[in-house]
């Protein structure tokens, strides 16, 4: 089941909220959320519920083992058991086929590659559970004795399958004690409606236009302009798609009393690659910073060691996104630019107008998304060559020009959507409303009408499109 489906929007979520608000105690509400979360996760393939429960059980037992012992050696032993258990399960389901294919290319063994279906969201809830156990080991939080609380934390349908990666210490109090007021409920509904619209009206349209411009079975025949435009639409799509899911997760959290941290902060407005990664998928970047980069030594070591630490982080970042060579290349691509910025590029950019840094960042990220998009390395090379007419292809074509003219205003709309323009406009209206009552009434009317309009438009878009999964489900 996906958030952007009529089944979820008009049946699953309303039923969950109905029974949730019908319940009076936090314990009863937690039971409702847990039941609906397990149904949500089991919708596609019920057997993977066993995997989720097993992962939670491992972390629950190991966290209690850590918390119950004062001896550092014993605590570390429990932590190692936990990490081996979690990463082994993740490795089997996500990387065994990839590792087997590499082994066969060198040794000819095994003859057949084992094809294991990837459980939805396994990377997200694995990292979430690992962060919980490590935080217990660091004495930042006590271990939770109630297994079902940990299961709710890891399996909450708001963010279980595509993030954001939530740390237990951020929601521990809210799991046990939380309240909901009408203002936060309204903000949650609005945030959900905005995310749904971003997905159904913008991200899905970007995907459709990309497929028109860059048909994968005839990439070498695409005009250069078609490839440039196609990747521009993919650049829009991946942000709008992923941030839409985070918007909906945060919105549903607000509806039920949870406050998840922001996962995106308008990354395409950054002034460097470093700035981009402070704004993109913040929960994942924070995870690698706190649980890999800093434990390796972070910045508190020699330059050479810092570069090595960054290499490990970005190699793992690429691997986390998928068991394919292109994801590793993508991670190391950004590693190179982040190292260059650390060594001298940031100093150079600081002496230039911000526009130069912004353009440089967009160019780097644009080409990074090409590496990310194409798992087939040969196909990726064809795209790169075609963008510079090196496939014997033309610069443009009648079809490309027609598509561009048909979607030129949509491109402008996407540019507005990936910037804080609407957010800043809202702040301006609030500021004016504090001085002029008429403007305040107008802004209040917009706050009420906008979510309804977005929901109606999203419903119309979904009516003829029953399958529109989020890009990050595969990770």
**CA-angle at 323, arms to 319 and 329, nearest 5°:** 55
> Distance (Å, rounded) from C-alpha 16 to C-alpha 252?
11
What spatial distance separates the first Cα and last Cα of the chain, rounded to whole Å? 16
Q: Is 100 exposed, middle or buried (0-12, 13-18, 19+ CB in 10 A)?
A: middle
Q: How many residues does the chain have?
A: 475
Concatenate the DSSP letters of all residues of 159-208 into one string: TTTT-----HHHHHHHHHS----HHHHHHHHHHHHHHHHIIIIIIHHHHH
**Residue 468 DSSP SS3:** coil
- Whether 321 is a known active-site residue: answer yes
**Residue 203 DSSP SS3:** helix
Q: CB count, 10 Å around CB of 164?
A: 26
From the candidates 158, 281, 321, 358, give the one annotated as an active-site residue. 321
> Distance (Å, rounded) from C-alpha 369 to C-alpha 373?
6
> Distance (Å, rounded) from C-alpha 460 to C-alpha 349?
45
Q: Is 412 exposed, middle or buried (0-12, 13-18, 19+ CB in 10 A)?
A: exposed
Enter the tokens of residue 101: 């294919």
> Distance (Å, rounded) from C-alpha 227 to C-alpha 385?
10
**CA-angle at 472, arms to 284 and 422, nearest 5°:** 80
> Distance (Å, rounded) from C-alpha 141 to C-alpha 168?
8
Respond yes or no on whether the N-terminal peptide bond of residue 110 is cis (omega within 30° of 0).
yes
> Distance (Å, rounded) from C-alpha 94 to C-alpha 322?
8
Q: CB count, 10 Å around CB of 112?
A: 7
**Residue 44 DSSP SS3:** coil
Q: CB count, 10 Å around CB of 7?
A: 13
Q: CB count, 10 Å around CB of 383?
A: 23
Q: Cβ(281)–Cβ(264) under 8 Å?
A: yes
> Distance (Å, rounded) from C-alpha 199 to C-alpha 470?
8
> Distance (Å, rounded) from C-alpha 475 to C-alpha 471?
8
Residues with catalytic roles: 321
């Amino acid at each position: 089941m996906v958030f952007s489906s009529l089944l979820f929007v008009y049946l699953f979520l309303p039923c969950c909220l109905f029974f949730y608000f019908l319940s009076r105690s936090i314990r009863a509400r937690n039971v409702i959320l847990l039941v609906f979360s397990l149904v949500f996760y089991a919708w596609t393939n019920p057997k993977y519920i066993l995997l989720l429960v097993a992962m939670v059980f491992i972390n629950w037992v190991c966290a209690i083992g850590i918390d119950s012992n004062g001896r550092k050696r014993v605590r570390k032993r429990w932590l190692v058991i936990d990490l081996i258990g979690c990463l082994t399960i993740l490795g089997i389901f996500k990387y065994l086929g990839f590792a087997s294919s590499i082994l066969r290319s060198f040794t000819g063994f095994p003859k057949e590659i084992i094809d294991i279906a990837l459980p939805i969201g396994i990377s997200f809830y694995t990292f979430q559970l690992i962060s919980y156990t490590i935080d217990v080991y660091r004495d930042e939080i006590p271990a939770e004795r109630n297994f079902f609380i940990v299961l709710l934390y890891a399996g909450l349908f708001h963010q279980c399958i595509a993030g954001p990666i939530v740390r237990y210490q951020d929601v521990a109090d809210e799991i046990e004690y939380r309240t909901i007021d009408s203002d936060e409920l309204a903000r949650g509904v609005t945030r959900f409606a905005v995310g749904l619209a971003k997905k159904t009206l913008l991200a899905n349209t970007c995907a459709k236009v990309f497929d028109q411009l860059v048909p994968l079975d005839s990439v070498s025949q695409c005009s250069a302009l078609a490839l440039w435009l196609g990747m521009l639409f993919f650049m829009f799509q991946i942000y709008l798609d992923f941030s839409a899911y985070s918007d909906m997760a945060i919105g549903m959290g607000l509806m039920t009393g949870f406050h998840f941290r922001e996962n995106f902060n308008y990354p395409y407005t950054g002034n460097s690659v470093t700035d981009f990664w402070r704004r993109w998928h913040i929960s994942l970047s924070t995870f690698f910073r706190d649980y890999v980069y800093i434990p390796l030594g972070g910045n508190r070591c020699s330059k050479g060691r810092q570069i090595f630490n960054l290499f490990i982080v970005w190699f793992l970042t690429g691997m986390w996104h998928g068991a394919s060579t292109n994801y590793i290349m993508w991670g190391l691509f950004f590693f190179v630019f982040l190292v260059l910025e650390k060594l001298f590029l940031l100093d150079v950019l600081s002496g230039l107008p911000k526009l130069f840094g912004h353009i440089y960042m967009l160019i780097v990220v644009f080409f990074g998304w090409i590496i990310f998009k194409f798992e087939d390395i040969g196909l990726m090379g064809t795209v790169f060559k075609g963008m510079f007419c090196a496939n014997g292809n033309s610069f443009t074509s009648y079809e490309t020009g027609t598509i561009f003219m048909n979607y030129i205003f949509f491109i402008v709309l996407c540019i507005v959507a990936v910037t804080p323009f609407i957010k800043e406009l809202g702040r301006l209206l609030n500021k004016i409303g504090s001085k002029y009552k008429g403007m305040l009434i107008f802004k209040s009317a917009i706050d009420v009408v906008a979510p309804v309009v977005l929901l109606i438009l999203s419903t119309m878009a979904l009516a003829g499109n029953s399958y529109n999964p989020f890009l990050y489900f595969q990770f």
